[in-house]
Amino acid sequence: MNLIAFFLFGLLHFAIRIVYVFLWAFFGWFIGLFFGDAFLAIAAQLGLENITMWQIGAVFGFLSTFFTAPFKVTWDANKFLQKQQPNQPQNGRYIDPHYGVN
């Protein structure tokens, strides 16, 4: 059963990458309608000739799948600082964790 789940997860992961490539290829083509000459001139200066905008978009789509985070990490600095320094003044008074408000 675990082998089947692992195989299905791999197929899903591969399918998501393929969808990203097609979406980015479409976005590359769409942006190429308006700014294609500018991007292709930059690509020619970098040594990439005979390339189209949808191909540039597909490459970016493929590479972007490797640099996306699988989960989001949030960090609230205020909560961290309150935990680290409990004796901060609140309304001009200090809170002592052992004796209460001073």
What pLDDT is stored for residue 6 in this prediction? Answer: 85
Cα gap 61→24, rounded to integer Å: 5
Domain residue limits, the chain: 2-101
How many other CB atoms are found less than 10 A from the CB of residue 41?
A: 10
Is pTM beyond 0.85 here? no
CB 18 within 8 A of CB 61: no
Per-residue pLDDT tens listing for the chain (102 residues): 688 888 888 888 888 888 888 999 999 999 999 999 999 999 999 998 999 999 999 998 888 877 765 656 566 666 655 554 555 555 556 555 665 554
The conformation of residue 83, written as its DSSP 8-state character, comes to H
Q: Where are the alpha helices (DSSP H) in 1-102?
A: 2-45, 53-64, 77-84
What pLDDT is stored for residue 79 in this prediction? Answer: 62
What pLDDT is stored for residue 100 in this prediction? Answer: 54
